[in-house]
């Protein structure tokens, strides 16, 4: 999940939680709970995207340094 998709889930969750009346679909579906779930999933996805993006940058720099310092055989 990318950063854009994570922000989309957070936004969608906030809309479902705060902008829509909870009883729109009756008592069987709780829109506000679904909104909270979307916000949590979006937040976790955003954190993981940031962590993996920073790790990805370090890995490519280290690999490039190793490749440049190896003598050709």
Cβ neighbours around 14 below 10 Å, total:
15
pLDDT value of position 27: 78
Percent of the chain beyond pLDDT 90? 47
Share above pLDDT 70 across residues of the chain, in percent, rounded to a whole number = 75
**Residue that the structure tokens 């709780």 belong to:** 30
Is the CB of residue 49 less than 8 Å from the CB of residue 2? yes
- Token pair of 7 as six digits: 């922000």
Residue 61 has pLDDT above 60, yes or no: no
pLDDT tens-place string over residues 24-37: 777 788 898 999 99
């Amino acid at each position: 999940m990318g950063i854009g998709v994570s922000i989309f889930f957070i936004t969608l969750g906030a809309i479902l939680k705060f902008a829509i009346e909870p009883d729109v679909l009756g008592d069987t579906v709780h829109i506000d709970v679904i909104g909270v779930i979307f916000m949590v999933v979006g937040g976790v996805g955003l954190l993981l995207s940031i962590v993996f993006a920073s790790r990805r940058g370090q890995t490519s720099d280290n690999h490039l340094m190793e490749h440049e310092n190896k003598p050709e055989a």
